[in-house]
Amino acid sequence: MSQNQLIEGAIGKLEVKVEEPDHPAPQAPVAVLCHPHPLHGGSLTNKVVHILAATMNRLGARAVRFNFRGVGRSGGEFDNMVGELDDLHAVVDWAREHYPDAPLWLGGFSFGAQVALKMHAQLGAERLLVAAPPLSLYGSDDLPEIAIPWLVIQGSADEVIDAHQVRDWVARQTRNPPRLIWLEGAGHFFHGRLNEVREAVIEAWPTLSPPATAQGRR
């Protein structure tokens, strides 16, 4: 079951799509997912974000996709990853109001992955999933420490960002290393590999350990 609606954002309405699992538990997690760059065709209908939402449903979580300001029916205009942080905050606030007992999972693809990385600690996320984080475009120096279970998905043949910079950054996360899904030969948009992304997340996500016992990368 899914539905689209408009909610209040910081500077206007934000378009949100909520997708329920077949049999949601009373305290099912809510997975809020962020889409890629608004000026390059990114929206909540992006195929990678769509497959991540469907995957979250398969894992029993509600999936909440949304359009950043200036995209689709969302008001405002692109704010170069400044106002977009407020957009994510507004969506999470809305989700917490509607599902007050639900753990928050946070995820994103490309531009949306960077937004999720920047905001996960402030928003109190309990799990984090990032696909093709654009570290070569936005850097990593200002990212908060990640102290929760997390998952990184990266294709080795990414034509938009530096995949090896992502892998090197993952290797430096020694205090709480993520699980790394490294897809050899996959490009930025994971064309022809989306089913592989889904199955890898389903395999890895439930096995993520608490921060105190994180067991490294794969």
Angle between helices 47-58 and 194-204 (to 10 degrees): 40
Per-residue pLDDT band at 182 (split at 50, 70, 90):
very high
Confidence (pTM) = 0.93
| CATH number for the domain harbouring residue 138 | 3.40.50.1820
User: What range defines the domain where residue 54 resides?
Assistant: 2-207
The answer to whether residue 182 sits within a structural domain is yes
Q: What is the pLDDT of residue 196?
A: 97
The answer to whether residue 144 sits within a structural domain is yes
Q: Which two tokens stand for residue 172?
A: 């430096």
Q: Classify each residue of 139-159 as buried b or exposed e, where b means 16 or more C-beta atoms within 10 Å of its C-beta.
A: eeeebeebebbbbbbbbeebe
- Identify the burial level of 171 via C-beta atoms within 10 angstroms of its C-beta, where 0-12 means exposed, 13-18 middle and 19 or more buried: exposed
The answer to whether residue 135 sits within a structural domain is yes
The answer to whether residue 212 sits within a structural domain is no
pLDDT in tens, 25-82: 878 999 999 999 999 999 999 999 999 999 999 999 999 999 999 999 999 999 999 9
What is the Cα–Cα distance from 198 to 175, expressed in whole angstroms?
27
Which has more confidence, 210 or 173?
173
- Identify the burial level of 185 via C-beta atoms within 10 angstroms of its C-beta, where 0-12 means exposed, 13-18 middle and 19 or more buried: exposed
Are 133 and 163 a contacting pair, CB within 8 Å?
Answer: no
Q: What is the pLDDT of residue 214?
A: 38
SS3 category, 104: strand
The answer to whether residue 217 sits within a structural domain is no
The answer to whether residue 175 sits within a structural domain is yes
Q: Which residues contact 24 (CB under 8 A, 6 or more apart)?
A: 60, 62
pLDDT in tens, 110-169: 999 999 999 999 999 999 999 999 999 999 999 999 999 999 999 999 999 999 999 999
Q: Classify each residue of 17-54 as buried b or exposed e, where b means 16 or more C-beta atoms within 10 Å of its C-beta.
A: bbbebeebeeebbbbbbbbbbbeeebbbebebbbbbbe
The answer to whether residue 213 sits within a structural domain is no
Q: How many domains does the chain have?
A: 1
What is the Cα–Cα distance from 162 to 215, expressed in whole angstroms?
25
